[in-house]
Amino acid sequence: MDLLTRLSESLQGGDADQVAELTRQALAAGLAPKPILDQGLIAGMTVVGDRFKAHEIFLPDVLLAAKAMYAGLDLLRPLLAKAGVATGGRVVIGTVRGDLHDIGKNLVAIMLRGAGLEVIDLGKDVAPERFVAAAQEHGAQVIGMSALLTTTMPVMRQVVDLCRERGLYGKVKLIVGGAPLSAEYAREIGADAYCFDGVNAVDVVKRYLGTA
């Protein structure tokens, strides 16, 4: 079995030590961080999600898998974020209120920082007011919102509406992402863009800043 398949399987089994060890081995073998992330860690997490949905595993198993994901991610983080030249752009990012999923949002923040952007990470379970206040306080050009639950997606619309109320709409670009999101939903709520992953978010933000 190849290294990345073993990595994926260790993550599925929630074995954080083994995930860290195999991530180190993959790096030592000369593999680039992106395939380790995509074909090892994210591939494993996708299987976990499918098995959770099929009721083959339960919430504690998903929590262990998330912990194992971070064991690998922590090692990849500095490599994924390889020093970019600061572009002067500032992004406020967070997972919306009611939603505790932060792995994808953290990955997007890593990619944006790696591209030289300043990222103000508000964490998870972020209220609309905090997104808007932080954007105003830091003079951000972009607000990035993440949601993994269909039940928390509507919070994004509340952020968009609050931006309209506060006169930020059209001045600050609003980007959204997360597994249940789509370009159509982004349009429907009045967001500027839907981004399917961190690399795509970097492209979109750089386009807005005129640095692509």
Return d(Cα 23, Cα 100) in angstroms, integer: 25
The length of the chain is 212
Query: Nearest CA to 126 among 90, 162, 81?
Result: 162
> Smallest distance, Å, CB 110 to ligand B1M?
10
Stretch that binds ligand B1M, among 2-10, 16-24, 42-50, 164-172 (CB under 6 A): 42-50
| 186 near ligand B1M, judged by CB under 6 A | no
Look at the block and give the residue holding tokens 């795509």: 200
Q: Count Cα atoms within 13 angstroms, Cβ side, for 153.
A: 19
Choice between 104 and 128, CB closer to ligand B1M = 104
Q: How far apart are CA 190 and CA 39, in angstroms?
A: 34
Q: Which stretch binds ligand B1M (CB under 6 A): 18-26, 127-135, 159-167, 173-181?
A: 173-181
Site for ligand B1M, residues 101 to 160, rule: CB under 6 A: 101-105, 107-108, 144-146, 148-150
Distance CA 148, CA 155 (A): 12
Q: Are 69 and 101 contacting, i.e. CB atoms less than 8 angstroms apart?
A: no
Question: 26 vs 205, which CB is nearer to ligand B1M?
Answer: 205
Residues between 55 and 94 that touch ligand B1M (CB under 6 A): 59, 62-63, 66, 93
| Residue numbers at the binding site for ligand B1M (CB under 6 A) | 42, 45-46, 48-49, 52-53, 59, 62-63, 66, 93, 98-105, 107-108, 144-146, 148-150, 175, 177-180, 195, 197-198, 201
